[in-house]
Amino acid sequence: MALYSEKVMDHFLHPRNVGVIEDADAVGEVGNAKCGDIMKMYLKIENDIVKDVKFETFGCGSAIASSSMATEMIKGKPLSEVEKLTNKAVTEALDGLPAHKIHCSVLAEEAIKSALEDYRSRRKDT
Amino acid sequence: MIYADNAATTRMSEAAVDAMADCIRTAWGNPSSLYAFGQEAKEKLEEARETVAGIVGAASPREILFTSGGSEADNQALISAALLGAKKGKKHIISTAFEHHAVLHTLNKLQSEGWEVTLLDVHENGIVLPEEVEAAIREDTCLVSVMYANNEIGTIQPIAQIGAVCRKHGVLFHTDAVQAVGHLPINVQEESIDLLSASGHKFHGPKGVGFLYVRAGIRLTNLIEGGAQEQGRRAGTENLPAVAGMAAALKERAAHMAEEQRKVAALRDRVIDGLSRIPHSALNGDRDRRLPGNVSFCFEGIEGESLLLLLDQKGICASSGSACTSGSLDPSHVLLAIGRVHDVAHGSLRLSLNEENTPEEADQMIQGVTETVDYLRSFSPVWRDLQSGKSQFIL
């Protein structure tokens, strides 16, 4: 049995939605180089729906796969649904992660939450 | 497959396989049995012992104890020396910050049981200074343990000088030589070594076997009690096939050592030169005083585990000192000990070559790593911030 599921390897080798959005409506960045994982998510939001999403990640196979999967799961979805995304859902979508890598899926969830926080605070300012 | 992880384990040589198979098929008696068939096995065991003793420069074969590997040898050496010291009221031990966990964790255990441990600085170049060893020695120091060559960054320690310092002060000197035996010419007498650990599978021998050199007159404490094997110092029927395999492998290495060292060092240097062309990268540890096959690098802005996975896709087997590969949140203690900050230590790679690798493979390694680092940097937020000037480059 390999270290990672086929789904994880697929998202690691062929990550979806890689990149940046220059005029993003929301940006979320979590993690720190000290612990070895950093995820940055850029969201384009229109009518409270995630029109586009891009990510950049510094981290292991699980981290890259988790962030890639997370972007797929929120693209085209209404914010009300995106808010409810959990690391559990990301992990399940990936057909599971090794126990010591679950924190990578948590980081993906946090990256999205961080982006939503950014969106909310920007709207408060306008 | 391009295998560049010989520091982790090596392929068994044909001579080792043949020696093992011979013992399994013909000399399978119990070396402790009285009858001729048993004594034949005993003879093979003692032949292996003599071979090993001769190669490391021991005064007598009786100074070689066969174990299940390097970890066991480390454990027995440290615990024995610690207990010998305690009997004389000496409970201070000196070692280094970048020892293998088999040494560090045993020292931790001794510390929790009342011994005091000083871990010496290994500096940016990954080399311990004999003067600093001497300065650290106290009235109550019973043991100094310094690894012969570091497994991660490959740096070779000034063992003979440290040995001389220890002899001068009457302190036992142990060296974990797991990465050095079979690759460097070691002479325990000339280098004033009292205890030395070695592991078979690091020099084309089998896994699950190693040896501990113990200078005559040093009393060991058993880790395993029971029968009287290994002069009463390690109970259990001897793993003759593995021991014979290990001895055969070591004999082969000794016969070709100089030429293998030259060949492998040339490959190593080729890879180091190639990888040095990658921007914002750095070799870990002294450029010259390093094992012939060790290439250890840090690449800024990327993470080690993803680098390894992608190299694996290209058929290249390597390892890393990143946290993700260690299973903890901290990257390798070795890289931290030479002063690499976390950000940079996470982006580490170790390629360990041997005489089976070729120049073509070396070039493929260079190309594979260069491409992979480029690719990972293309979507790394850390790299983006470094490039934009938002954060400062370290390497």
pLDDT in tens, B214-241: 999 999 999 999 999 999 999 999 999 9
Closest residue in A to B372 (Cα) is A13
Closest partner residue to B342 (CB to CB) among A34, A56, A64 is A34
Closest partner residue to B303 (CB to CB) among A18, A20, A59 is A59
CB contact under 8 A, A36 and B313: no
Name every chain B residue with its beta carbon within 8 A of the beta carbon of A34.
342-343
pLDDT of residue B367: 98
Collapse the DSSP code of B185 into the 3-class scheme (helix H, G, I; strand E, B; otherwise coil) and give the result: coil
Domain contains A1: no
Backbone angles phi, psi at A26, to 5 degrees: -155, 140
Chain centroid to Cα B366, Å, comes to 25
Percent of chain B with pLDDT over 70: 98
Catalytic residue among B23, B298, B317, B324: B324
Bridge partners for B295 per DSSP: B351
CATH of the domain at A115: 3.90.1010.10
Asked if CATH classification 3.30.1360.120 holds for the domain at B56-235, the reply, yes or no, is: no
Is the CB of B305 inside 8 Å of chain A's CB atoms?
Answer: yes
Name every chain B residue with its beta carbon within 8 A of the beta carbon of A55.
379
Name every chain A residue with its beta carbon within 8 A of the beta carbon of B336.
none
pLDDT digits (tens, 9 = 90+) for B79-138: 999 999 999 999 999 999 999 999 999 999 999 999 999 999 999 999 999 999 999 999
Number of domains in chain A: 1
Collapse the DSSP code of B125 into the 3-class scheme (helix H, G, I; strand E, B; otherwise coil) and give the result: coil
Q: Is A104 a catalytic residue?
A: yes
Domain contains A118: yes
Query: Nearest C-alpha of chain B: how many angstroms from A57?
Result: 5
Whole-angstrom Cα distance, residue A117 to residue B39? 78
Please tell me the class of the B257-388 domain.
Answer: alpha beta
Name every chain B residue with its beta carbon within 8 A of the beta carbon of A36.
303, 322-324, 329, 331, 342, 346
Domain contains A56: yes
Tell me the one-letter amino acid at B68. S
Catalytic residue among A3, A13, A20, A35: A35
Query: In which domain, by residue range, is A46 found?
Result: 6-125
Domains B56-235 and B257-388 share a fold: no
Do B7 and B294 touch, CB atoms closer than 8 A? yes
Name every chain A residue with its beta carbon within 8 A of the beta carbon of B346.
33, 36
Q: Is A35 a catalytic residue?
A: yes
- Strand locations in B16-140, DSSP E? 64-67, 92-96, 116-120
pTM: 0.95
When pLDDT is averaged across residues B10-15 and rounded to a whole number, the result is 98
Both tokens of B345, joined, read 């230590």
Backbone angles phi, psi at A96, to 5 degrees: 95, 155
Catalytic residue among A65, A79, A97, A104: A104
Collapse the DSSP code of B59 into the 3-class scheme (helix H, G, I; strand E, B; otherwise coil) and give the result: coil
pLDDT of residue B327: 65
| Domain ranges for chain B | 56-235, 257-388
Domain contains A66: yes
CB contact under 8 A, B383 and A38: no
CB contact under 8 A, B303 and A39: no
Is the CB of B395 inside 8 Å of chain A's CB atoms?
Answer: no
Which of the residues in chain A have pLDDT under 50? none
Closest partner residue to B346 (CB to CB) among A12, A36, A55 is A36
pLDDT of residue B324: 67
Do B106 and B74 touch, CB atoms closer than 8 A? yes
Interacting residues of B311 by C-beta distance below 8 A, sequence separation 6+: B317, B318, B368, B369, B372
Collapse the DSSP code of B351 into the 3-class scheme (helix H, G, I; strand E, B; otherwise coil) and give the result: strand
Question: Edge to edge, what strands does the sheet with B294-299 contain?
Answer: B281-283, B294-299, B348-352
When pLDDT is averaged across residues B332-341 and rounded to a whole number, the result is 95
